[in-house]
Amino acid sequence: MQIPIGDTPELELALLRRSLGDIARKTDHCHDCHRALLIGERVHEYDNGELRCALCCDRERRTPSQTRTVHTAAHGHSIRILDRRPARRAA
């Protein structure tokens, strides 16, 4: 169910715009097309620190220094619970 924009309070819209703007500023962007790189996307990084998406990498003549996958901001900060109890033996 979609709510018409006219029915949404102005404060709610202002907060939504602000949070989306904050997210857009914190994410990496392609050096050529300035598009925000998506989580899971392959990105090519060059020696000078420039990032290029897979679409724009063909325009660059230089070879990238590395190719990596874009991760979430929580990558490496999440907790992984490991079960270290000894295995139960069947009776």
Residue 74 CA to residue 69 CA, distance in Å, equals 14
Residue 13 or 67, more confident: 67
- What global pTM score does this model have? 0.56
In this predicted structure, what is the pLDDT of residue 67? 92
In this predicted structure, what is the pLDDT of residue 3? 57
- Helix then strand count (H, E) for the chain reads 1, 3
pLDDT score of 8 more than 70? no
Domain layout of the chain by residue ranges: 29-75
In this predicted structure, what is the pLDDT of residue 9? 83
pLDDT in tens, 22-66: 766 777 889 999 888 888 899 999 999 899 998 898 888 888 999
